Amino acid sequence: MARDRLISTQRRGDDERVDTALRPRNLRELIGQRSLMERLHIAMEAAKGRGEPLEHILLDGPPGLGKTTLAHVIAKEMTGKGPRIASGPSLAKQADLMALLTTLETGDVLFIDEIHRLPRIVEEFLYPAMEDFRVDFTIEGGMSGRVVNFALKRFTLIGATTRAGMLTGAMRDRFGHSFHFEFYTTEELTEILRGSSKRLGVESREGALSEIALRSRGTPRVANRLLKRVRDYAQVRADGVLTSVVVAKALEIQQVDDLGLDELDRAFLTALVRTYSGGPAGIEALAATMGQERDTLEDLVEPYLLQIGFVIRTRAGRQATLRGCAHLGLPFHEPAVAERGSVVAGIFRGSRVDQAELYSEENLGGDESGSAV
Ligand SMILES: Nc1ncnc2c1ncn2[C@@H]1O[C@H](COP(=O)(O)OP(=O)(O)OP(=O)(O)O)[C@@H](O)[C@H]1O
Ligand SMILES: [Mg+2]
């Protein structure tokens, strides 16, 4: 089921083509991520002013928020051409990376996607390249390998990851800039959709695009995908023009609800409430109950449910909130056990913020062991 999700934030099927077709080409076309953009502008202007390449940049955030897009735009702005592209898993050995590094010209941008999946041996090989622009390459042969030191041109590495937590500290420290992507607001998504419909030649009436934006899980990739499905519906069942009513009908058929939740989100919350009395439940246990991979739940289901306050993460596991239960018409269970004597079960009727605070690291203390989270 996960792979076929209409609202999956992950790339699928023809997304590659759509992503490319609808991808903003320059900084002006990029919408949202304001604080990130401001810091990036300053860094780029400063580097340009000094006539130097940009320092290495780490981009992290959930899938579909624009990391690859931004890497392309940065390369274009700084060098007038696209980045050299590689991905963590594709760089299996030192020689793979070596082949890329030695062909880079001064100022070139090397983009490594999924950088948290670089094999350790390649990662360590990358350190001196990032820091001192040189590599110690081992040439195999004879009894033992011969180590040759190569000087590299001064390049900019842009690393992207959906799992910043999985990066080693050593890797993270070698980036001069670290930019975190946030989910987009409905207004920002509406604007992105306006641009996309123009490019796709889709006509829409007032309010239609914001209806799509509301169901897009804060994610431009999802927004663009929904737009295409709504366009199909409008073409076949209406006169081709998008209206709020057409959007609502089209997405109802696709079983995407008014908050952008689909079957998999509902299954997650239902399992949490029905099987684990609302939680706390460990992610492994939930994955087993649902017959899903843990990674699928962590990458594609949880981030948005956490974002909208339908689920909270505690040291003991995942917990359904009153809001989440109310949305799906599920019974709300008071959390059974407060982890600390001072935290009293029953004061959970508050807002999402109250609940988040209740379970913050600070309030829970740092000494619990055997966390199931
Ligand atoms: N700021 C933005 N403004 C307009 N469109 C955007 C923006 N960010 C992303 N998009 C759209 O969303 C699509 C997906 O973005 P992108 O491929 O860059 O995401 P990503 O963060 O690299 O995802 P993944 O983690 O899956 O690689 C883009 O092709 C583009 O159409
Ligand atoms: Mg990407």
Residues 6+ apart with CB under 8 A from 368: 315, 339
Please report the domains of the chain, with CATH numbers, ordered by start residue.
33-180 (3.40.50.300), 186-253 (1.10.8.60), 263-364 (1.10.10.10)
**Ligand 1 in contact with 123 (CB < 6 A)?**
no
* pLDDT, position 358: 39
Q: Which of 3, 10, 19, when mutated, tests ligand 1's pocket best, judged by the most ligand atoms within 8 Å of its CB?
A: 19
Half-sphere exposure for 361 (CA within 13 Å, toward CB) = 1
Active site residue 162: yes
* pLDDT, position 335: 73
Rounded Cα gap, residues 226 and 229, in angstroms: 5
Q: Which atom of ligand 1 is nearest to the CA of 22?
A: 31
**Ligand 1 in contact with 69 (CB < 6 A)?**
yes
Q: How confident is the model at residue 211 (pLDDT cuts 50, 70, 90)?
A: very high
Distance 80 CA to ligand 1 centre (A): 20
Q: How confident is the model at residue 308 (pLDDT cuts 50, 70, 90)?
A: very high
Asked if pLDDT for residue 352 goes beyond 60, the answer is no
Strand partners, 91: none
pTM: 0.83
Distance 19 CA to ligand 1 centre (A): 7
Q: How confident is the model at residue 13 (pLDDT cuts 50, 70, 90)?
A: low
Q: How confident is the model at residue 136 (pLDDT cuts 50, 70, 90)?
A: confident
Distance 255 CA to ligand 1 centre (A): 24
CA-closest residue to ligand 1 atom 23: 64
Residue 269 and residue 330 in contact, taking contact as beta carbons nearer than 8 Å: yes
Distance 42 CA to ligand 1 centre (A): 22
Q: Annotate 90-131 with DSSP letters as a single string.
A: G--SHHHHHHHHTTPPTT-EEEEESGGGS-HHHHHHHHHHHH
* pLDDT, position 333: 86
* pLDDT, position 21: 77
